[in-house]
Chain A
Amino acid sequence: MRHIISILLENEAGALSRVSGLFSARGYNIESLTVAPTEDASLSRMTIVTSGSGDVIEQITKQLNKLVEVVKVVDLFEAPHIERELMLIKVRASAKDRDDMKRMSDIFRGRIIDVSEDTYTIELTGTGQKLDAFIEALGRSAIIETARTGACGISRGQRVLRI
């Protein structure tokens, strides 16, 4: 099953490789991994999308907690949560396709953030599924380039991940 694990860790050189090294050494899956400093610059927040049985996820969280630089770990799937991913996608938009492409972007609540003679660059956020659906709807031939951030998530309501 798919899980989103959020980690607060010391914002230190090498911390990322300890986490990614743990996943590769123990054969755990990483679907996506995002990391950036938090409002407290001494801490980074990492979001890992992984998959595995309940036992595997339990081991993953235990092993992550064991890493000295990891401060806190939560599995967002344990409670209601919100998940978002950002995609920048450059699509073909020459004269005859231009209006269609604009409409398609609007339908998916995308924003066109760069325009050239033959292309649009669209910014789109949503769940991974929504981004997949957009790609599907455009069709392979319309797409020139995509850049996706991987998922980032946060719990709903009172549940927080902070020190």
Chain B
Amino acid sequence: MELSGAEIIIKCLQAEKVEYVFGYPGGAVLFIYDELFKQNKVKHVLVRHEQGATHAADGYSRSSRKVGVALVTSGPGVTNAVTGIATAYMDSIPMVIISGQVPTHAIGLDAFQECDAVGITRPCVKHNFLVKDVRDLALTIKKAFYLATTGRPGPVLVDVPKDVTVAKCKFEYPETISMRSYNPVVKGHSGQIKKAAQLLIEAKRPMIYAGGGVILSDAAPQLTKLVRTLGFPCTNTLMGLGGFPATDKHFVGMLGMHGTYEANMAMQHCDVLVAIGARFDDRVIGDPAHFGQMPRKIIHIDIDPSSISKRVKVDVPIVGHVPDVLDDLIKLIETGKQRPEPKALAAWWDQIKLWKTKDCLRYDRKSKIIKPQFVLEKLYEITKGDAFITSDVGQHQMWAAQFYKFDKPRRWINSGGLGTMGFGLPAAMGAQLANPGATVACVTGEASFQMCIQELSTCKQYRLPIKVVNLNNRYMGMVRQWQQFFHGNRYSESYMDALPDFVKLAESYGHVGMRIDKPADVESALKEAFKRTDELVFMDFMTDQTENVYPMVGGGKGLTEMILAEEL
């Protein structure tokens, strides 16, 4: 029996066991929506803007390790989705985006709602396809899922012209697939792993630095085992939080621009560094020349060869699937007789503990104005550290990363690479749908939140009981902070006048709104909000406008050139 292209798309999604598609209908995808309507295996979540669809699919994926799927129409549908696609690309999130396209005969003629979707998205997808023949459709969708999930994951876009959704052919979904031009390395080189094991054993001042690759490859158990076996200090990047338990004694906090003093100092002064699923990003190591001043041996484990020796030259590159490489490495260390020298390691830990006494995350606990850090500490306590926390981008994101102790992977969901304001709420929708019954909180600020505020409506429609923690300082806080530090206190356009009454706004969408002005009310408000397990509660915390995120490494500065609270 022959099926139409639209039917084939739905059959493929069913075959991939896709639970949710996040999307928005339009002319070019009407036949696909018609087929969606006729079945009930693949559920559709109607967002209010296509950016929300891609962020929601992204949050769904990050919180569940499944592929996030978005469906958008041609032209503005796909251009609106681009921000979300680029966000997923920068953080290597497996997603499949199906976009409608004008009919094949109209392509290139500036048709209504036409845009070159493949051209526009090319630099921000792992790969993309334009399907011109219905007979290629099933294979292309199979390839899209395969590419999105293997190797270094990423978003893949499939652009389907309207006439292809109507045309018919025999449907057969390929069980497996192989592509001659795409064979990601999986197994790490055993010789290199041996070299790494030897370096680790000989290390006097070792440091383990783990990034988002640990989360994406589900290597948290292996990383935890490696760190505990060796007794080494471990730091996580913003993307890697939860990859190693934050409450473990070996954890020295997040590193980087707003990392802890001890993590950054240890990173700079170690003699052997193991980078795992991380990429020496500018926000992580600052100026590479400054970082390179200190002699150290670097082992770098990553699935993507192009991440290795990109910003920092490494001594022992190991390309492979992180959990497999770590398994091999642990085995070598466990079966070998040698152990790191305890004396040297103890001296190194003493040094780290000394750095720790700086108490770099301290803030004024007696403040009469709500301190954002205080809200996050209370959020951690009240959710018992077991919530899915999404965030937007800015100061609140950094405070959440610093003050919420993530013990499990996939609990911390934020846009690290692209830094997309507006990510938090739709990502929380995806996380809530992927984890029904779980506590999902979106930590945000009044500026970020307004970038995808329309999704409050989606939350109502699908009864998503997200808890929104809005740290409202009436500023684009991080912009204001940079202006204070580096632009002579000239707060150019970083103050937002005419903010809405968020309580009324939440209520008008059918949610619960709360405004909290005093530190004394923070805890009770959070308790009250999290008791309402079946409602979205928007908590508008009026926080200190002048609070800054410390420590801070200025843009382009060296990792240890930190601005600490006391220095201002």
Contact = CB atoms under 8 A, between A and B. Distances in A.
Interface of A: 9-10, 13-14, 17-18, 21, 25, 55, 58-59, 62-63, 65-66, 68-71, 163
A144 B464 CA distance: 72
Contacts of B309: 55, 58
Given A59-B310, A62-B305, A62-B306, A69 B181 contact: yes
B201 interface: no
Contacts of B147: 68
A17 B127 CA distance: 12
Given A18-B122, A59-B310, A70 B181 contact: yes
Contacts of B180: 71, 163
Q: Which of B119, B127, B181 has the most CB of A within 10 A?
A: B181
A63 B123 CA distance: 12
Interface in B286-326: 304-306, 308-310, 313
Given A17-B119, A55-B313, 19 more contacts: A9-B181, A10-B181, A13-B130, A14-B118, A14-B130, A17-B122, A25-B123, A55-B309, A58-B309, A59-B306, A59-B310, A62-B306, A62-B308, A65-B306, A66-B305, A68-B181, A71-B180, A71-B181, A163-B180
29 contacts: A9-B181, A10-B181, A14-B122, A14-B130, A17-B122, A18-B122, A21-B122, A21-B123, A55-B313, A58-B309, A59-B310, A62-B305, A62-B306, A62-B308, A63-B306, A65-B305, A66-B304, A66-B305, A66-B306, A68-B126, A68-B127, A68-B147, A68-B179, A68-B181, A69-B127, A69-B181, A70-B181, A71-B180, A163-B180
A59 to B, nearest CB: 6
Nearest to B125: A68
- The list of the 5 closest CB pairs from A to B, nearest first, reads A62-B306, A68-B127, A71-B181, A62-B305, A68-B182
B126 to A, nearest CB: 7
Contacts of A71: 180-181
Nearest to B181: A71
Nearest to A10: B181
A111 B181 CA distance: 40
A62 B181 CA distance: 14
A56 to B, nearest CB: 11
A25 B123 CA distance: 8
Contacts of A9: 181
Interface string B172-187: 0000000111100000
A13 B127 CA distance: 13
Interface string B447-467: 000000000000000000000
A63 B307 CA distance: 9
Secondary structure class of chain A's binding surface, majority of residues: helix
Interface residues of B, number: 19
A71 B179 CA distance: 9
Secondary structure class of chain B's binding surface, majority of residues: mixed
Nearest to B319: A62
B332 to A, nearest CB: 27
Contacts of A18: 122
Nearest to A63: B306
A18 B123 CA distance: 8
A143 to B, nearest CB: 37
A137 B417 CA distance: 54
A52 B304 CA distance: 22
A163 to B, nearest CB: 6
A74 to B, nearest CB: 15
Contacts of A59: 306, 310
A9 to B, nearest CB: 7
B96 to A, nearest CB: 14
A65 B305 CA distance: 9
A9 B182 CA distance: 11
Nearest to B126: A68
B116 to A, nearest CB: 10
A59 B309 CA distance: 8
Interface in B147-189: 147, 179-182
Interface in B200-251: none
B450 to A, nearest CB: 31
A97 B122 CA distance: 52
Nearest to A25: B123
Contacts of A69: 127, 181
A114 B520 CA distance: 92
Nearest to A55: B309
A70 B184 CA distance: 12
Contacts of B308: 62
Contacts of A14: 118, 122, 130
Contacts of A13: 130
A89 B215 CA distance: 59
Contacts of B305: 62, 65-66
Nearest to A24: B123
A17 B309 CA distance: 26
B429 to A, nearest CB: 30
B146 to A, nearest CB: 10
Contacts of B313: 55
Contacts of B123: 21, 25
Contacts of B306: 59, 62-63, 65-66
A13 B306 CA distance: 25
A62 to B, nearest CB: 4
B205 to A, nearest CB: 27
Q: Which of A21, A59, A68, A163 has the most CB of B within 10 A?
A: A68
